[in-house]
Structure 1
C-alpha cells in the first residue's frame, strides 16, 4: 500500500499537472482565432486544433480525476483514524472526566467536528491546490503569451483578496464555533431526553419536552443564520473583485486590440484566461470559508485530545499477573475533587483470600464510593488500600482491573445480544461457557424463554429485559470472568427473595476460594458473609459476622429488625 505522504504528493502533483494542461485550452483557441482572422484556416488545421483540444480535455480529466480520488481516499482514511484516536482517547480518560462532560457533546465532537476538519483538509486541500495552481498557471500564460501590461492592470482588484481574508476570516471562525456549541447543546439535550423517555411518557410531558427542544433548535437556527450571513458576504466579495478584473480587462484589452498592440486571438485567449482566473478565486473563497469553520472544530478537538487521564500507572508500578485476593483497607479519608466534605472517613478492615464480605448501610452512606476505590475508578490516597499487601496505587492499573470482576449498581448492558453481553470481557468464549455462566447467575431459564435465546437483541441498555434479568445477566458476565476478586454493588436489589437465595448459594459454591464483596440494602444478601461492614455517613460504625452484629444491638440490628418487619430478611 502506498505511504500516506506519497499519496498526498501524487494527488497534488496530478492536480498541478492537470491545471498546467488545462491552461493550454485558451491558447489553442487563441491560435485558432488568429488563423481564422488571417483566413489561413484549412480542414486539416481545424482537425489539428480539434485533436489538440480533445487531448487537452482527456488528459485534464484523467490527471484531475486521479488527484481527486487520492485526495478523497486520504481524507476518508484521516477521518477514520481521527475518530478511532478520539474513541481510544475517551477510553483512556478517567471516570471523573465524564462527570463534567455530556455524552451528547462528545458525540458532536466525533460526528460534526471530525467531519468539518476532514472536509477542510481533504476537499479543501483538493480545491485549494487546484485553485492556486490554476491561478498561477493562468497568470504565467497571460504574462508569457499575451501581455504583461494587460495582466498587471487586470489583476489589481484581486490583490485585495488577502486583506478581505484577514478582516473577515475571524468573524466566520467565531460564528462557526457558536454553531458547533449550539449543536453540542442540542445533542446533549436529545441524548438526555431519549434516555428519560419512560419518565416523559409516564408523566405526560411530551409537549414540555417538545417545547424545550424547539428552544434548542431556534438557537441553532439563529447561530447558523449568523454564520451563513457572514459566509455569504465573504464569498460574494471575491467574485465581485473577479468581475471588476474582468471589466478592466475588457476595457484595457479592447483598447490594446483596437490599437493593434495585441492580436485579436490574444485578446480572445486573454478573456478566456480571465474567466479561468475568476473560478479559482471563487474556489479560494469557498476553501477559506471552510477552513475558518474547520478551525473552530479543530480547536475543540485539540482541547478534547489534550485532556489527560487522572488514573495512571505510578512510575514505580508493579505488575501483578496473579492475585490471591487478600484485601486490607486503612482509609483515613477520601474526598471527591468537586466536593467540599469527605465521602469516606476512618474505615479499616481486612479480608483474607477466599472470604466473603458484606457492606451495608443506609442510602448515601458511601458503599458505592468504597467499591469504586478497589478497581481505582477513583484513586484512593496512597497507603489506604492494599491488595495482596501491595498498595493499589502501586499496582499496574490493567493488572488490578483484570483481577476484579465488578458489577456496578445499574448492571449496565450493551445494545447487542445477551450472549455478547455475557461474554463482553472475554476475547474468545464458547457457547457452553456462556450457558454455564447464565445458569450460575440463575438467568438461563429466562433467556431460553426468548425466541432467539442467547442471540436475543436486548435493545439500548437492555430495555427488553426486566430489572432482575438485567442484574443477573450482568452477574453472569462477572462470573464468566472468574476473577480472584468480585464486587457486587447492590446487584441483587431487583431479584425476588427466592432467586436471591439461589444466587447466594451458587456464589458460595463457585467462589469458595475467591474473595467476594457484596454491597446490599437487603441484609438477606449478606447474612452468610464471613464479615459484614456497616457504614453510616461515610464512616465504619460496625463490623463482624451476622450473629456478632445482632448481639451488639447497634445499627445493624436496627436495620435487621426493620427489614424483618417488612419481610425482607428470611432464613
Structure 2
C-alpha cells in the first residue's frame, strides 16, 4: 500500500476522533476571538468614565473565562491530535520494518543500514509532524482568522477599514504557490543527505576498532566530515528559502499592522471610529499575525513531509526479488534429501556465471564436504539453497520438491545455516543460541553449547548463559562468537544443516571435537560442510572440489588423495607446512 494512501486511510479510520479534536480546537479559538471585543468595549467604557468596581470585576471575570476556555478546549484538542500523530508514527515504523523483512539480499547489498535508518527515523518523524502540527496549527490559524474577520465585520468598525487593513494578507496564497515546490525539492535533497550521513556514521562506528588499530582516525574524520558537509550545504540551501518564506509572511502581518495603526489612528483622531474600535481593530490584526506565521510553518512542514512521504513511497514500492509462487506449499520434514541438477547461475548484472552445470545428490543422513578457493562458487551455492537468490526452475529440489514451489518459511525452516561470521545480537548468550525459538529450555541450550564446544567458555562467565553481549557480540572472542553461532544452528535441529566455513576460527583439536559431536548429533540428517581446512571434511561421505563455478573433483577423502589435483595439493601443503588455515589456491 502506498504511504499517501496509508496516511489517508489512517486519518479516515480515526475521522471521528480527529473531528472531535478539531471541534475542540476550533471552539477554543472561536472563544479567543472574543478577547479583542471585550477589550475594545472596556476601552470605550473607560474613556467615557462609565466604569464601576462591579463592571471592572465583570470584565476581568469574562476575560479570565475566555482565557481558561481557550486553554482547556484548544489544549485538549491539540493533545488528541498529537497523540494520534504518535500512534501513526509507531504504526508506520512497524510497517516499514515488516517491509524490510520481505526484501531480498540484493536490496541490502545496495542499501546500507544508515540509509534505511534514515527512513525509519527522519522521514517518518517528518510525516508525523506534518499531520500533528499541520492539523493543530491549520485549525488554529483558519478558525482564528475567520473568527477575527467575522467579529470585525459584526462590530462598529467600518468594512472599508477592515478591508484596507487585511489587504496585504491577500498576497499569501500567491507566495505559497511560488515557494512550496522549491521547499519540497530542497527538503528531498536534505533527507537524501541525512540518509548518506547516517549510513556513513553507522559504518564508522561499526569499524571504530579497526580505525584505531590502524591509526586511521584522520582518514575516517575526513570521510565523515565530507558527509556532514553535504548535509550542511543542502540544509543551508533549504534554510535560505525557508527563512525567506517565513520572513515574508510576518512582514505582511506587520504591514497590515502598520496600515491599521496609521489609517485606524487617523480615523480615531478624526472621530470616525471610537478609541475602543481602534483598540479592537488593532488587537484583531495583531491576533491574525500569529496564525499567519503558523500557516507559514505548516506549509514549510508540509512540503518537507511531502518529500519524506515520496521517499517512503519509493521504498515501499520496492518489491522483493524473491517471491513465493501462487501455489507455494508448506512442508514440514524430519529428513530431507537435497538434489541439484545442471545448476548454472549468474548474479544480476554480472558478466560471467558464478555456477556452471552443478549436479549433486545428498541423501538423508549423508554429509557433503565442499572445498574450493575464494570465488569458486561455494557460498553462491548456499545462497541458492536458501533462496537468497532464485535458482532456475527445477534445478534444486528438497525432499523431491522444487524449492521454488515451497513457501519461503517452509524452505528455511528445513535448513539451519551457520555462516563463517555469525551475527550475534546485543542480548544474552542464551537468547542468541535459542534465537530460532526463544522459549527453548535451558538444558536444551546447554546441550547445543556443548556440541559446539562453547559450553566451558560460557560457564566461566560471571552470569553464565545470562551474560549480555556487547554490540555484535564484541564481548566474546572471534572463536567464541563463531561457536556461539554454531550452537544456534545446531539447536534448530533442522533436516539440513549448512556450515559455511563455520569452524575456521577454532584450533584443530576443538575442530575435531566439534566435527565428532556433529556426526553423532546429525545421524539421519543431511549436513553440508564448506571449509578450507581439509581436516574439517575428512569424515564427509562425499567431498566436492569447486573451481571457477564448476565441480572439478569429487569423491571421499582417500579417493581424492589418490587423484592428482587441487585437493591433494592443498592436503600436502597443510600436512607438510602445518598451515591448516591455508586458503585454496588456483591450480
Q: Whole-Å Cα distance in 2 between the matches of residues 505 and 213 of structure 1?
A: 48
Partner of 1:206: 217
Once the two structures are superposed, residues 288-337 of structure 1 have per-residue CA deviations (whole angstroms, 9 ceiling, x without a partner) of: 11222222222111111111111111112122123521110013310111
- 2:57 aligned partner: 47
* 1:420 Cα deviation after fit: 1.3
Q: Given the alignment, which residue of 148, 164, 169 partners 2:159?
A: 148
Q: Is the contact between residue 361 and residue 535 of structure 1 (CA under 8 Å) also seen in structure 2?
A: yes
Matched, 1:23 2:33: yes
1:360, distance to aligned residue in structure 2 (A): 0.9
Q: Which residue of 2 is the match for residue 311 of structure 1?
A: 322
Give the CA deviation at 1:219: 2.6
Residue 473 (structure 1) aligned to one of 481, 484, 491? 484
| Structure 1 residue 8, shift from structure 2 partner | 1.6
For residues 391 and 151 of structure 1, the distance between their equivalents in structure 2, rounded to whole angstroms, comes to 79
**Alignment of 1:65 onto 2:75:** yes
Q: CA deviation at 1:260?
A: 4.4
Q: TM-score, normalised on structure 1?
A: 0.96
Q: Determine helix, strand or coil for the equivalent of 1:508.
A: helix
Per mean C-alpha deviation after superposition, the further-off stretch among 361-370 and 244-253 is 244-253
Contact conserved, 1:438 with 1:473, CA < 8 A, in 2? yes
Alignment-derived partner of residue 238 in structure 1: 249
Q: Secondary structure at the match of 2:562?
A: helix
2:92 to 55, 73, 82: 82
Q: Which residue of 2 aligns with 1:341?
A: 352
Are the counterparts in 1 of residues 453 and 483 from structure 2 also a CA contact under 8 Å?
Answer: yes
State the distance in 2 between where 1:6 and 1:473 align.
52
Deviation at 1:569, TM superposition (A): 6.4
User: Equivalents in 1 of 2:399, 2:556: separation in Å?
Assistant: 23
Q: Give the RMSD, CA atoms, in angstroms.
A: 1.8
* TM-score relative to the length of structure 2: 0.94
Moved more, 530-539 or 214-223: 214-223
Alignment equivalent of 1:511, drawn from 494, 516, 522: 522
The equivalent of 1:489 in structure 2 is 500
Distance 1:98 1:135, change over 3 A: same
Which stretch has the larger CA shift, 98-107 or 545-554? Answer: 545-554
1:255 to partner: Cα distance: 4.0
Unaligned runs of 5+ in 2: 1-10, 582-587
State how far apart, in whole Å, the 2-side matches of 1:408 and 1:114 are: 34
Q: Aligned to 2:151, what secondary structure does the other structure show? A: helix
**Aligned residue number for residue 374 of structure 1:** 385
Q: 2:536 aligned to 525, 528, 531, which one?
A: 525
Paired residue secondary structure (2:551): strand
Structure 2 counterpart SS, 1:409: coil
Q: Which consecutive unaligned segments of at least 5 residues does structure 1 have? A: none
Matched residue, 1:105: 115
* Contact 2:343-2:396 within 8 A present in 1 as well: no
Cα shift at 1:553: 3.0
Alpha-carbon offset, residue 212 of structure 1: 2.5
Hey, what does 1:7 align to over in structure 2? 17
- How many residues of Structure 1 are paired with residues of Structure 2 in the alignment? 569
1: distance between equivalents of 2:158 and 2:94?
53
1:383 match: 394
Q: Who is 2:147 aligned against?
A: 137
Per the alignment, in what secondary structure is the counterpart of residue 99 of structure 1?
helix
Write the distance in 1 (CA, Å) between the matches of 2:268 and 2:15: 48
CA contact (8 A) 1:172 1:227 kept: yes
CA contact (8 A) 1:524 1:568 kept: no
Inter-partner Cα distance in structure 2 for 1:78 and 1:564: 63
